[in-house]
């Protein structure tokens, strides 16, 4: 937008603050070099909103994509050059966003495009609390607070790392899983339930800890038989399974 921007991120690595510090700092330096002036370009800390589930996530995506239209900056969100809507419509040569995952929220590109053309939500039903902003039902906030209290004494992923600016090496994700389960990935049978579950766990670690995109993961031997658009569902299923084990 003219004086701010919106990002929809999954903070699965727990390093969103570090990411935005780098993004805003780098852009601030670029802006001052180009336009001059002094002081911070971004004056306030970012605001984040906790989203309950895919239903509310779809609502948030539709709302953000229609921001330029509501502001009178474009006739349609797909026409606006600073939006990811063009990527979801297949008009971008190189995508920055996780297009397969977003399409999957609607069950495919066709269904998403149909809703984008018809939906123009004027306001998000964001709710506020001492815990922060959230998009969802009352019981969702209660559960989120319970999880927060449970994790108070646990070291966060960010604190455990010696170098916050770097992702972990890809090889480390393989080595740690092989050590934990006493196996080798080249010997796994991915036709079995155990093999599929271990591959899913590897996918989660490669995406969250090593920072690989689905396209990069699809090039690895363990995932070459899986279609690119299917990796998003595999990731979501594996995340749910891992979360269930921790509870």
pLDDT for residue 166: 54
pLDDT (tens, 9 = 90+) of the chain, 247 residues, equals 888 899 998 877 677 888 888 888 888 888 888 988 877 788 778 888 888 888 889 999 999 999 999 999 999 999 999 999 999 999 888 888 889 889 999 999 999 999 888 767 778 888 887 667 888 887 777 776 666 555 554 444 344 443 444 567 788 888 889 999 999 888 889 999 999 999 999 999 998 888 888 888 988 889 989 988 899 999 999 988 888 876 6
pLDDT for residue 147: 63
pLDDT for residue 134: 80
pLDDT for residue 64: 92
Q: Read off the pTM.
A: 0.61
Question: Beta partners for 50?
Answer: 134
């Amino acid at each position: 937008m003219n004086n701010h921007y919106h990002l929809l991120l999954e903070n699965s690595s727990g390093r969103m603050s570090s990411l935005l510090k780098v993004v805003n700092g780098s852009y601030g330096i670029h802006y001052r070099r180009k336009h001059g002036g002094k002081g911070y370009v971004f004056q306030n800390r970012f605001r984040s909103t906790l989203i309950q589930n895919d239903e509310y996530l779809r609502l948030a995506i539709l709302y953000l994509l229609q921001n330029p239209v509501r502001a009178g900056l474009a006739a349609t969100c797909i026409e606006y050059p600073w939006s990811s809507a063009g990527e979801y419509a297949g008009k971008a040569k190189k995508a920055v966003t996780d297009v397969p995952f977003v399409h999957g929220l609607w069950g495919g590109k066709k269904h998403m495009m149909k809703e984008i053309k018809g939906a123009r939500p004027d306001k998000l039903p964001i709710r506020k609390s001492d815990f922060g902003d959230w998009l969802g039902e009352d019981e969702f906030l209660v559960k989120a607070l319970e999880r927060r209290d449970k994790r108070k004494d646990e070291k966060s992923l960010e604190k455990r790392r010696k170098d916050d600016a770097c992702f972990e090496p890809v090889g480390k994700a393989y080595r740690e899983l092989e050590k934990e389960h006493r196996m080798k990935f080249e010997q796994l049978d991915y036709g079995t339930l155990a093999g599929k579950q271990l591959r899913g766990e590897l996918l989660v670690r490669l995406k969250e800890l090593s920072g690989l995109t689905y396209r990069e993961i699809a090039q690895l031997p363990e995932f070459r038989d899986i279609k690119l658009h299917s990796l998003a569902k595999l990731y979501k299923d594996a995340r749910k399974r891992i979360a269930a084990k921790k509870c």
